[in-house]
């Protein structure tokens, strides 16, 4: 036979009888037991609510990019206006998420400033919470950067496509101009033959009109080349501008990482100072112990010598 017996059920029955005698009915008892098993969710802080809202916005942006990826990349599926509208919506999404992350950073900075005392000493109980919030902001920044990197790839495809469309058109224009110059030579010979058969005033007037036509054609051709060059340069400048903004965001994340490393180094220095102070105290106590030991040993030797 076992020496111990489980009395859990007896304890539950005693508690139930005591609760019923105190005026609790079965429904109240069931509600109390359910509250012990299923705990109520904790009330979320404003920082946590804002962080979750930012995370939902970034997730919505990721779903939007996944939904319109083919429409944006393939120019045969949508028009240029629709692609511009997609780009405008994504830019507005990214700007809103960036503003929310900046608000969270400002909240952390305010809380960090308020946690310091009048001597600049930081409260150690709140340091872990602030470090956790810095980690939350860093995770949100990394998620936003990963989504914007996907959009950068999509924009790079569009810019490369625009450059590829602009360059062959320019080459074809040069070929057409050279062909027109070659074909204009026999036409000029024919016109000369007709001019010789025409009277002198009409021939001069026709030559003036032909010269003005050729001048206008050359001017329009040069203007078209200049417009195409400007279009290509604007596309390249837009791509470089977006790449620069991406690098700036990467530098901001690197600064956040350096800040975290600096915080960790500060904590390590504080721990090292504590260890040094403890070592100094141990050294002092050991010196005192050695002095007492040698004093007692000397006194005992003198006492034994006197006793003998």
99-116 burial, b at 16+ Cβ within 10 Å, e below that, comes to ebbeebbebbeeebeebe
Please give the CATH architecture assigned to the domain spanning 45-166+220-279: Up-down Bundle (1.20)
**Is it the case that residue 243 has pLDDT exceeding 80?**
no
pLDDT at residue 184 in the model: 47
Q: Choose the weakest-confidence range: 55-69, 243-257, 258-272, 283-297.
A: 243-257
Lowest mean pLDDT among 19-28, 115-124, 242-251: 115-124
pLDDT, mean over the chain: 76
From the CB of residue 136, how many other CB atoms can be counted at a distance below 10 Å? 19
pLDDT digits (tens, 9 = 90+) for 177-189: 555 545 444 444 4
Looking at residue 128, its pLDDT comes to: 78
Instruction: State residue 220's pLDDT score.
Output: 84
Note the pLDDT of residue 250: 72
Q: What is the pLDDT of residues 128-161, one digit of tens each?
A: 788 888 888 888 888 888 888 888 888 778 777 7
Distance CA 268, CA 263 (A): 9
**Phi, psi dihedrals of residue 122, rounded to the nearest 5°:** -85, 140
How does DSSP classify residue 39?
P
Does residue 302 have a pLDDT over 50?
Answer: yes
For residue range 50-94, list pLDDT tens digits in order.
889 999 999 998 898 888 888 877 777 778 788 888 888 888 888
- Which residues 6+ apart lie within 8 Å of 157 measured at CB? 73
pTM value is 0.47
Q: How confident is the model at residue 253 (pLDDT cuts 50, 70, 90)?
A: confident
Q: Is 60 exceeded by the pLDDT of residue 41?
A: yes
Q: What are the residue ranges of CATH 1.20.58 in the chain?
A: 45-166+220-279
Under the banding of pLDDT at 50, 70 and 90, the label for residue 195 is: very low
Report residue 26 as tokens.
């079965």
pLDDT (0 to 100) of residue 36: 64
- 166 pLDDT exceeds 70? no
d(CA 205, CA 195): 10
The predicted pLDDT at position 279 comes to 85
Q: How far apart are CA 220 and CA 20, in angstroms?
A: 100
């Amino acid at each position: 036979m076992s020496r111990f017996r489980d009395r859990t059920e007896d304890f539950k029955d005693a508690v139930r009888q005591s609760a019923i005698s105190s005026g609790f009915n079965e429904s109240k008892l069931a509600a109390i037991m359910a509250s012990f098993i299923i705990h109520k969710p904790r009330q979320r802080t404003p920082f946590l609510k804002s962080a979750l809202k930012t995370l939902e916005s970034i997730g919505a942006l990721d779903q939007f990019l996944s939904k319109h990826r083919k429409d944006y990349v393939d120019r045969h599926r949508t028009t240029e206006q629709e692609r511009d509208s997609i780009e405008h919506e994504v830019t507005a999404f990214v700007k809103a998420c960036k503003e929310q992350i900046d608000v969270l950073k400002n909240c952390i900075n305010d809380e960090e400033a308020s946690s310091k005392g009048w001597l600049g000493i930081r409260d150690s109980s709140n340091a872990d919470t602030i470090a956790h919030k810095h980690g939350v902001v860093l995770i949100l920044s990394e998620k936003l950067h990963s989504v914007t990197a996907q959009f950068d790839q999509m924009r790079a495809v569009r810019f490369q496509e625009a450059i590829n469309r602009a360059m062959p058109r320019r080459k074809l224009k040069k070929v057409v101009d050279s062909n027109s110059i070659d074909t204009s030579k026999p036409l000029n010979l024919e016109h000369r033959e007709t001019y010789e058969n025409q009277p002198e005033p009409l021939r001069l007037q026709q030559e003036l009109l032909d010269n003005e036509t050729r001048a206008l054609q050359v001017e329009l051709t040069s203007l078209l080349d200049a417009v195409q060059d400007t279009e290509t340069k604007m596309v390249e400048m837009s791509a470089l501008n977006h790449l620069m903004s991406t690098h700036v965001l990467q530098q901001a994340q690197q600064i956040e990482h350096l800040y975290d490393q600096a915080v960790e180094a500060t904590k390590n220095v504080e721990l090292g100072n504590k260890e040094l102070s403890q070592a100094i105290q141990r050294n002092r106590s050991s010196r005192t112990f050695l002095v007492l030991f040698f004093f007692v040993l000397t006194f005992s030797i003198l006492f034994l010598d006197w006793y003998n």
